[in-house]
Amino acid sequence: MRLVTKKEAAQIMGRSCRSIEEYARGGRISRIPQGNSVYFVEHELRELKVQLDKTSIRVMGPHELRDWQRRLTRMEMEVKFLLELTEAKNTAELTDGQLVSLFQIILENNVTVTSNVDYLHWYHVLSSLTDAHLERMATLTRTKDAWKPTLIFVNRLIRLCRGRDGFHSSLDMQRAHALLLRARRDLRNQVFILMNTVENAQNYERIFGEAPDMHEEILTRLR
């Protein structure tokens, strides 16, 4: 039977000297006084360590801990992004008065965007515009082809988003940018419908440099 000091016992167990005292007071290991010193039985310590290791929570290493912290941060960002998206969506309904106000902002082409929520709001506003909205906007403002300044405005938003500090390292900014690209694509599809005739619709690719979504289906409706 080999006896060890409290410090050696703590090293064997991988725990503190205070924990060794607590195990001894609880009767889980023997505490053997000799003169002015106290010793512990090595094989008892090793047996208790095996038991504790089986039932205790595994302690992560520093690299694994950092990996889990990164995962949690990413999850928090995703939840935050979805909440922002929901908040923006709830404020995207447009009345006639708002269509007129929107067109004034579009014509001025001088929007101030201060946060990611602003980009998400604009995504919902712009992606909610239908061909009927564009036509109504043109009627209310007595402007022919109201969609042209609207698309110029979207392009400016996209450039602003892409040019923000930290864009390449921010997942939220990159997602907002992707949504704005989608809004532009949706808006172009509405313009395609608004063109109303096959002849005009066939100019789409020349104007925008890409074919519209559902090209054949929409052309069939126009014929």
16: in domain: yes
Domain match, 182 and 128 both: yes
More confident residue, 58 or 165: 165
Where residue 115 falls (left for φ over 0; alpha for ψ -120 to 50; beta otherwise) is beta
More confident residue, 77 or 122: 122
Regarding pTM above 0.85, the answer is no
- Other CB atoms within 10 Å distance of the CB of residue 107: 15
Domain match, 110 and 81 both: yes
Say if residue 38's pLDDT is above 50. yes
100: in domain: yes
Domain match, 87 and 195 both: yes
Name the nearest CA neighbour of 153 among 120, 93, 209, 104.
Answer: 104
Q: 161 near 119, Cβ under 8 Å? A: yes
Burial of 192 (0-12, 13-18, 19+ CB in 10 A): buried
139: in domain: yes
Which residues span the domain enclosing 32?
3-55
| Residue 209 in tokens | 């440099």
Say if residue 218's pLDDT is above 50. no
DSSP H or E stretch at residue 33 = strand 31-34
60: in domain: no
Binned at pLDDT 50, 70 and 90, residue 62 comes out as low
| Residue 105 in tokens | 């902002």
Give me the mean pLDDT over the 168-182 stretch: 89
Task: Quote the number of domains for the chain.
Answer: 2
**∠ at Cα 127 (125, 131), nearest 5°?**
105
Domain match, 138 and 97 both: yes
| Residue 184 in tokens | 């532009």
67: in domain: no
Domain match, 32 and 138 both: no
CA 91 to CA 96: how far, in whole Å? 15
Name the nearest CA neighbour of 212 among 190, 183, 181.
Answer: 190
61: in domain: no
> What value does the mean pLDDT of the chain take?
79
